[in-house]
Amino acid sequence: MDKFKNKYRVSSTRLQSWDYRNNGAYFITICTANRKHLFGEIVKKLPSNLPTMQLNEIGKLAEKYWLEIPQHFPFVELGNFVIMPNHTHRILIIDKQIIDKQIETLQCNVSTGDKNIGAKNEQMAKISPKPGYISTIIRSYKSVVSKNARKIDQYFGWQSRFHDHIICNNISFNKVQNYITNNPLMWNEDKFYK
């Protein structure tokens, strides 16, 4: 385990050789804190009697704010997604051409005359969220859901991290889509079930 400022910290789970602004499809899994069931429940619906996710009020917020992501990040397309009782699976698609144009307009240098400000700005740039990155999108999403979900359940929370998988080809994309679609049917066998 690495240390930062003499404290142990968990290393990043992101692929270090990959730029997470790259054009592509990403399979994202986000869990609630302690995998607590906060989004609703799996029920059997008639006439098919197949297991289906029934969203509660917080689950509906999680869905609403996910669907609004392209309004805030126009370079993002949403693929298949499912909200389960204690986690979500989603496909998020990035269009790099649009990202590059947005990043160019976000970058500017302002001189304040303070000789130390350059070093401070450089350090802040290293640790600040980067426009167009998957982690920035997910952080924004989790933040808005948390803010509104805590009006319903003051103890609402997410796990601090999320899992991502870069979808490399059409075969993988189709497998992920099928997995997401069938997730409610497999709930009793799901590793997140408890």
What confidence score (pLDDT) does residue 10 get?
47
- The C-alpha atoms of residue 149 and residue 104 are separated, in whole angstroms, by 34
For residues 192 and 183, the answer to whether their CB atoms sit within 8 Å is: no
- Cα 134 vs. chain centroid, distance in angstroms? 7
Judged against a pLDDT cut of 50, whether residue 159 lies above it is answered with: yes
pLDDT classification of 121: cutoffs 50, 70, 90: low
pTM: 0.74
Higher-confidence residue of 115 and 61: namely 61
Q: How many domains does the chain have?
A: 1
The owner of tokens 């126009």 is: 74
What's the pLDDT tens digit per position in 13-69?
A: 545 555 555 678 899 999 999 999 999 999 988 788 889 999 999 999 999 999 999
CATH code for the domain in which residue 180 is found: 3.30.70.1290
Lowest mean pLDDT among 15-24, 104-113, 150-159: 104-113
Is 5 among the domain residues? no
DSSP line for 37-97 = --SEEEEEETTTTEEEEEE-HHHHHHHHHHHTHHHH-TTEEEEEEEE-SSEEEEEEEE-HH
Domain membership of residue 30 (yes or no) is yes
Q: Is the residue at 6 inside a domain?
A: no
Which residue range(s) make up the domain with 79? 17-104+115-189
Within a domain: residue 7?
no
Residue 10 lies in a domain: no
Instruction: For residue 132, count other CB atoms closer than 10 A to its CB.
Output: 22
Among residues 106, 122, 103, 133, the alpha carbon closest in space to that of 19 is found at 133
Task: Please indicate, yes or no, if residue 45 is contained in any of the structural domains.
Answer: yes
